């Protein structure tokens, strides 16, 4: 297992922003919306009760006038034979109704069993189910001859009226049940017993008013200088709108904050509100997404209504990609219609309010590339503000902000902390500071010192140490050689990331790890890719060379290596066979999963190239490992002995890293 601090795990990533108690503004809250009374006082409830009552009464009544059940033999031998039957009517080709003479009907009614049968000549007193119309006709014909009557046999189709209602009764019941369930579900989602069906269309924005707000200002946001400059204009507008109105200038209606999670987008938006001293309404894009049609759109309407009431104010929509995803993707999956409606409503609302309404919309996403282009049009989110991962200097400033509240050991080097945390977001750094304080407290220390920070960083990157995990000696040896393989290969290959330390202390789900300091570059060359892949494969190769075996622990190494090689071929045009060609889709609008944008032949070529790259990297790793057998054995022994080995040890074993390695390049 090889670990790289370039990709810290987001363990509980974003810590809570330093805000006062959050005010959940539920439906029917103190904002003056009339409460929907629960229980039978609710008009909806009355409606349902009435329907239920009618149905019950009607079913009981219905029962009273139903003809009694009988069968053909009884009808023939008991009734027709005595001349009691006036006619037989076949209804819907499935039942026959038997009409009796008035006298006969009265007589039957006097019998206890038939006391409910209807009287009157226009009503049937008995009925029975028939097998087939032809059979009945034949039977009736025979009976006519036998008893010498002119008994009429009529036919009637009865799809309307009560019969239909009876047929549909289960259906009506189901629909009723559905509505009932929907209502109680929306009640659940609307929050509280008051949130009934009327509440489902309301937007549950969190409101930070002047009174409730523990103010966030630009001082609390470290780094992000460019973003702050951009956004300062918005603050200025909210403070002195007249200045802009007089000049006839138009202020952007909205700005989109784009950047990876935890980089301080929410914080920045809050700071804008804090600086301008206006209310801040915050909602997440996923809050609009509900399983019911039309709910999203009505929530958008409601949100903008709330915002206009509070203007001037800042409206912040987090994770806007939940609704703003490009339309028309995956057409055919019904769920998308709802999101499309929501997005359309958002666009309409954004067009609807004038630039001077005093509502400024800020939205955050970590994927601006998949957003619908219509959102980015002028007059909507016409300003995009990049909020990237912090650079070295910025990390130092972020540490500065979050160290303020900690009791620190004297002379703690902030620059050193910043250097140890490449690739960390602001939220990660906040997390490190908090974790370090906890670790120091656990150790009963009077102040948080450097070691606590180092353990906190390790923990956030690799998960919790699991010293208690029992490993067999054999397993330990294998892990030691595996990690030594990674370390050695990366030590000798020029373009691999410089190593910080190797350890065989199990952590999280891995049995060991080697830690690298990735440089803060923005581009990766082909050579760097190749050497990285080789170092990744170094672990597995070492197992093969020294033990002639392989184990499953290399899974994530192999996965990462394969993905890198695949990306080299398909995205970065780094394979000669395919040439400078990229199948990367930055718009995210085509679905690679279903239709490949290349032919079957190219697919085969891609496979072959990926395999070739992996093969070459493996050969490079094998070469380094076989050449340094004794060194690796020493290193593994030292690992088994000390558990953690640093780059100084490697230098002692192998000598300084060869000329022109990554480390020198960066110096
Ligand atoms: P995002 O909205 O980009 O996902 P947040 O704004 O919610 O991230 O950031 C989460 C937390 O991380 C903040 O509350 C803050 O404690 C910390 N943080 C992130 N970026 C910064 C920064 N530039 N300066 C100070 N703290 C930061
Ligand atoms: Zn490994």
Name the most confidently modeled range: 217-231, 320-334, 568-582: 568-582
What is the distance in A from the centroid of ligand 2 to the CA of 632?
Answer: 15
Confidence of residue 434 (pLDDT cuts 50, 70, 90): very high
Helix 629-642 to helix 600-627 angle (10° resolution) is 80
Residue 251: what pLDDT? 67
Q: Is residue 433 part of a domain?
A: yes
Residue 317 Cβ < 6 Å to ligand 1: no
Residue 523 has pLDDT above 50, yes or no: yes
Task: Determine the Cα–Cα distance for residues 165 and 142; give it in Å rounded to an integer.
Answer: 36
What is the distance in A from the centroid of ligand 1 to the CA of 174?
Answer: 49
Q: 471 and 439 share a domain?
A: no
Residue 125: what pLDDT? 87
Residue nearest to atom 6 of ligand 1 (CA): 264
Residue 30 has pLDDT above 50, yes or no: no
Q: 210 and 122 share a domain?
A: no
Q: Sheet of 280-284: strands edge to edge?
A: 206-208, 280-284, 313-318, 359-365, 254-258, 383-386
Task: Determine the Cα–Cα distance for residues 225 and 177; give it in Å rounded to an integer.
Answer: 57
CB-CB contact of 263 with 253 (8 Å): no
Domain boundary among 462, 487, 510: 462
8, 14, 219, 258, best to mutate for ligand 1 pocket (most atoms within 8 Å of CB): 14
Residue nearest to atom 14 of ligand 1 (CA): 17
Nearest to 512 by CA among 493, 531, 484, 489: 484
Q: Which range (123-127, 331-335, 361-365, 374-378) has the least confidence?
A: 331-335
Q: 209 and 332 share a domain?
A: yes
For β-strands 206-208 and 280-284, DSSP reports them as antiparallel
Q: In this structure, what are the phi and psi dihedrals at residue 644, rounded to the nearest 5 degrees? A: -125, 135
Q: 193 and 277 share a domain?
A: no
Residue 300 has pLDDT above 90, yes or no: no
Residues in CB range of 577: below 8 A, 6 or more apart? 605, 608, 609
Q: Which atom of ligand 1 is nearest to the CA of 268?
A: 6
Percent of the chain scoring above 90 in pLDDT = 14
- Tell me the average pLDDT across 430-439: 92
Q: Is residue 449 part of a domain?
A: yes
Residue 623 has pLDDT above 90, yes or no: yes
Q: 133 and 151 share a domain?
A: yes
Residue 414 has pLDDT above 80, yes or no: yes
| Average confidence score pLDDT of the chain | 78
Ligand that comes closest to the CA of residue 257: 1
Q: Is residue 191 part of a domain?
A: yes
Instruction: Kindly state the tokens that stand for 209.
Output: 């008013």
Question: Which CATH number is 88's domain given?
Answer: 3.40.1690.20
Name the most confidently modeled range: 335-344, 505-514, 520-529: 520-529
Question: Which CATH number is 471's domain given?
Answer: 1.20.58.760
Q: Length of the chain, please?
A: 667
Residue 10 has pLDDT above 50, yes or no: no
Question: Which CATH number is 420's domain given?
Answer: 1.10.8.60
Q: 51 and 108 share a domain?
A: no
Q: 273 and 379 share a domain?
A: yes
Residue 37: what pLDDT? 42
Residue nearest to atom 13 of ligand 1 (CA): 17
What is the distance in A from the centroid of ligand 2 to the CA of 1?
Answer: 2
Decide if 396 is catalytic. Answer: no
- Tell me the average pLDDT across 351-365: 76
Residues in CB range of 211: below 8 A, 6 or more apart? none
Residue 81 has pLDDT above 70, yes or no: yes
Task: Determine the Cα–Cα distance for residues 523 and 645; give it in Å rounded to an integer.
Answer: 30
Ligand that comes closest to the CA of residue 621: 2
Residue nearest to atom 5 of ligand 1 (CA): 264
Domain boundary among 101, 125, 158: 158
Q: How far is CA 205 from CA 305, 307, 315, in A?
A: 11, 10, 9
Among residues 319, 338, 349, 483, the one annotated as catalytic is 483
Percent of the chain scoring above 70 in pLDDT = 76
Confidence of residue 489 (pLDDT cuts 50, 70, 90): very high
Question: Which CATH number is 257's domain given?
Answer: 3.40.50.300
Residue 193: what pLDDT? 42
Q: 496 and 443 share a domain?
A: no
**What is the DSSP secondary structure assignment for residue 507, as one 8-state letter?**
B
Q: 152 and 182 share a domain?
A: no
Q: For the chain, how many structural domains are there in total?
A: 5
Q: Which atom of ligand 1 is nearest to the CA of 390?
A: 23
Helix 295-310 to helix 335-352 angle (10° resolution) is 20
- Tell me the average pLDDT across 314-334: 71
The torsion angle over the Cα atoms of residues 532, 535, 540 and 545, rounded to 10 degrees, is 140
Q: Which atom of ligand 1 is nearest to the CA of 428?
A: 12
Q: Which atom of ligand 1 is nearest to the CA of 14?
A: 10
Residue 224 Cβ < 6 Å to ligand 1: yes
Domain boundary among 338, 361, 386: 386
Q: Is residue 11 part of a domain?
A: no
Name the most confidently modeled range: 205-219, 354-368, 580-594: 354-368
Tens of pLDDT, residue by residue over 120-146, are: 778 888 889 888 888 888 888 888 888
Residue 265 Cβ < 6 Å to ligand 1: yes
Residue 276 Cβ < 6 Å to ligand 1: no
Q: In this structure, what are the phi and psi dihedrals at residue 8, rounded to the nearest 5 degrees? A: -65, 140
CB-CB contact of 304 with 288 (8 Å): no
Q: Is residue 19 part of a domain?
A: no
Residue spans of alpha helices (H) in 277-391: 295-310, 321-324, 335-352
Q: Is residue 37 part of a domain?
A: no
Element (H, E) at 385: strand 383-386
Q: Is residue 56 part of a domain?
A: yes
Q: Is residue 606 part of a domain?
A: yes
Q: 565 and 498 share a domain?
A: yes
Residue nearest to atom 12 of ligand 1 (CA): 427
Q: Which range (339-348, 435-444, 459-468) has the least confidence?
A: 459-468
Confidence of residue 588 (pLDDT cuts 50, 70, 90): low
Ligand that comes closest to the CA of residue 403: 1
Tens of pLDDT, residue by residue over 228-281, are: 888 887 788 777 777 777 777 666 678 888 888 888 888 888 888 888 888 888
What is the distance in A from the centroid of ligand 1 to the CA of 263?
Answer: 5
Task: Determine the Cα–Cα distance for residues 159 and 316; give it in Å rounded to an integer.
Answer: 57
Residue 417 has pLDDT above 90, yes or no: no
The torsion angle over the Cα atoms of residues 117, 121, 126 and 129, rounded to 10 degrees, is -140
15, 19, 430, best to mutate for ligand 1 pocket (most atoms within 8 Å of CB): 430
Confidence of residue 185 (pLDDT cuts 50, 70, 90): low
Name the most confidently modeled range: 50-64, 100-114, 559-573: 559-573
What is the distance in A from the centroid of ligand 1 to the CA of 429?
Answer: 9
Task: Determine the Cα–Cα distance for residues 148 and 576; give it in Å rounded to an integer.
Answer: 103
Residue 426 Cβ < 6 Å to ligand 1: yes
> How much is the pTM?
0.58
Q: 237 and 124 share a domain?
A: no
Residue 59: what pLDDT? 62
Helix 600-627 to helix 473-492 angle (10° resolution) is 100
What SS3 class is residue 255?
A: strand
Q: Which domain holds residue 82?
A: 70-158
CB-CB contact of 525 with 495 (8 Å): yes
Residue 11: what pLDDT? 35
Residue 13 Cβ < 6 Å to ligand 1: no
Q: 334 and 260 share a domain?
A: yes
């Amino acid at each position: 297992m090889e670990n790289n601090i370039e990709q810290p795990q987001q363990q509980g990533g974003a810590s809570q922003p330093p805000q006062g108690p959050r005010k959940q503004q539920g439906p029917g809250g103190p904002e003056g919306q009339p409460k929907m009374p629960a229980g039978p006082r609710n008009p909806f409830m009355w409606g349902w009760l009435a329907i239920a009552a009618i149905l019950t009464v009607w079913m009981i009544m219905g029962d009273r006038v139903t003809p009694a059940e009988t069968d053909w033999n009884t009808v023939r031998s008991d009734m027709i034979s005595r001349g009691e039957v006036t006619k037989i009517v076949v209804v819907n080709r499935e039942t026959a109704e038997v009409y009796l003479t008035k006298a006969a009907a009265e007589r039957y009614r006097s019998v206890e069993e038939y006391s409910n049968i209807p009287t009157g000549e226009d009503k049937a007193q008995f009925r029975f189910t028939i097998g087939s119309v032809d059979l009945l006709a034949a039977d009736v014909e025979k009976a006519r001859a036998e008893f010498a009557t002119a008994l009429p046999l009529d036919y009637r189709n009865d799809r309307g009226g009560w019969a239909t209602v009876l047929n549909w009764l289960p259906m009506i019941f189901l629909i009723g049940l559905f509505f009932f369930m929907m209502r109680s579900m929306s009640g659940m989602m609307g929050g509280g017993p008051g949130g009934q069906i009327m509440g489902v269309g309301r937007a549950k924005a969190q409101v930070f008013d002047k009174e409730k707000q523990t103010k966030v200002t630009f001082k609390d946001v470290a780094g992000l200088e460019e973003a702050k400059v951009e956004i300062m204009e918005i603050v200025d507008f909210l403070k002195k709108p007249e200045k802009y109105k007089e000049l006839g200038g138009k202020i952007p209606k909205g700005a989109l904050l784009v950047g990876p999670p935890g980089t301080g987008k929410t914080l920045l938006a809050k700071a804008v509100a804090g600086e301008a001293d206006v209310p801040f309404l915050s909602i997440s894009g996923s809050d609009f997404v509900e399983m019911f049609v039309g709910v999203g759109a009505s929530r958008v309407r409601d949100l903008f209504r709330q915002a206009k009431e509070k203007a001037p104010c800042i409206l912040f929509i987090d994770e806007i990609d939940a609704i703003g995803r490009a339309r028309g993707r995956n057409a055919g999956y019904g769920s998308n219609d709802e999101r499309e409606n929501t997005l359309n409503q958002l666009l309409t609302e954004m067009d609807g309010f004038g630039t001077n309404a005093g509502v400024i919309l800020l939205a955050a996403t970590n994927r601006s590339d998949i957003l619908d282009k219509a959102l980015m049009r002028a007059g909507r989110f016409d300003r995009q503000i990049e909020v990237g991962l912090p650079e070295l200097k910025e990390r130092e400033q972020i540490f500065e902000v979050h160290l303020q509240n900690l009791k620190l050991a004297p002379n703690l080097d902030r620059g050193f902390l910043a250097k140890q945390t490449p690739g960390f977001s602001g939220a990660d750094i906040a997390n490190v500071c908090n974790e370090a304080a906890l670790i120091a407290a656990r150790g009963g220390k009077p102040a948080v010192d450097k070691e606590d920070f180092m353990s906190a960083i390790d923990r956030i990157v690799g998960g919790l140490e699991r010293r208690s995990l029992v490993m067999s000696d054999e397993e330990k040896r294998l892990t030691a050689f595996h990690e030594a393989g990674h370390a050695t290969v990366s030590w000798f290959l020029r373009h691999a990331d410089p190593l910080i330390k190797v350890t065989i202390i199990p952590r999280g789900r891995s049995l060991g790890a080697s830690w690298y300091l990735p440089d803060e570059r923005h581009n990766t060359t082909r050579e760097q890719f190749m050497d990285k892949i080789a170092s990744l494969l170094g672990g597995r190769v070492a197992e093969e060379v020294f033990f002639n075996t392989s184990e499953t622990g290399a899974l994530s190494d192999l996965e990462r290596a394969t993905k890198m090689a695949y990306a080299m071929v398909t995205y970065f045009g780094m394979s000669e066979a395919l040439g400078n060609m990229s199948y990367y889709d930055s718009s995210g609008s085509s679905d690679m999963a279903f239709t490949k944008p290349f032919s079957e032949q190219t697919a085969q070529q891609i496979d072959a190239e990926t395999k070739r790259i992996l093969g070459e990297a493996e050969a490079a790793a094998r070469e380094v490992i076989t050449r340094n057998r004794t060194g690796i054995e020493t290193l593994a022994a030292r690992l088994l002995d000390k558990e953690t080995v640093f780059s100084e040890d490697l230098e002692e074993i192998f000598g300084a890293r060869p000329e022109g390695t990554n480390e020198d390049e960066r110096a």
